[in-house]
Chains A and B, each alone.
Chain A
Amino acid sequence: MDFLDALPRFAFLQHALLAGVLAGVACGVVGSFVVVRRITSIAGAIAHCVLAGLGAARWLQVVHGQAWASPMLGAVAAALIAALLIGVISLRAKEREDTLIGALWAVGMAVGILFIARTPGYDQDLMSYLFGNILLVRGSDLWLMLALDLVVVALCAALYPQLQAVCFDEEFARLRGLHVELYYLLLLGLTALTVVLLVTVVGIVLVIALLTLPAAIAGQLTSTLRGMMAAAAVLSIAFTITGLAVSYGPDLPAGATTIVIAGLAYLAVLGGRRVLRRSAAVAKER
Chain B
Amino acid sequence: MSAPVIELEGVSFAFDGRHPVLSDVTLAVEPLSFACMIGPNGGGKTTLLKLILGLLEPTTGRIRVLGTSPQRARHRIGYMSQHATLDRAFPVRVLDVVLMGRLGPRRVAGPFDRADVAAARDTLAGVGLAGWERRPFADLSGGQRQRVLLARALTSSPELLLLDEPASGLDQKVERDFFDLLIELNRTTTVVLVSHDLGFVQSFVRSVICVHGAVDVHETNQLDGNTIRELYSGEVRMVRHDHSE
Contact = CB atoms under 8 A, between A and B. Distances in A.
A176 B101 contact: yes
Most buried by B among A160, A165, A175, A227: A175
Contacts of B55: 171, 174-175
A177 B75 contact: yes
Interface stretch (A61-69, A217-225, A254-262, A271-279): A217-225
Contact of A158 (B75, B79, B109, B139): B109
A167 B87 CA distance: 10
Given A161-B111, A169-B86, A225 B92 contact: yes
Contact of A36 (B81, B90, B107, B136): B90
B103 A173 contact: yes
A232 to B, nearest CB: 11
A60 interface: no
B77 A173 contact: no
A169 B91 contact: no
A200 to B, nearest CB: 28
B109 A159 contact: yes
Which bucket holds chain B's interface residue count? Answer: 20 to 34
B36 interface: no
A90 interface: no
Interface string A166-202: 0111011111111100000000000000000000000
Given A160-B111, A165-B100, A174-B55, A224 B92 contact: yes
Interface string B108-142: 11111000000000000000000000001011000
B92 A176 contact: no
Interface of B: 53, 55, 74-75, 77, 79, 81, 86-87, 89-93, 96-97, 99-101, 103-105, 107-112, 136, 138-139, 152, 156
Interface of A: 36, 158-162, 164-165, 167-169, 171-179, 219, 222-225, 227-228
7 shortest A-B CB distances, which residue pairs?
A223-B136, A176-B103, A165-B100, A177-B105, A176-B104, A228-B91, A177-B75
17 contacts: A158-B109, A158-B110, A159-B110, A161-B107, A165-B100, A168-B86, A171-B81, A173-B103, A175-B77, A175-B79, A177-B74, A177-B104, A177-B105, A178-B103, A219-B89, A223-B93, A223-B139
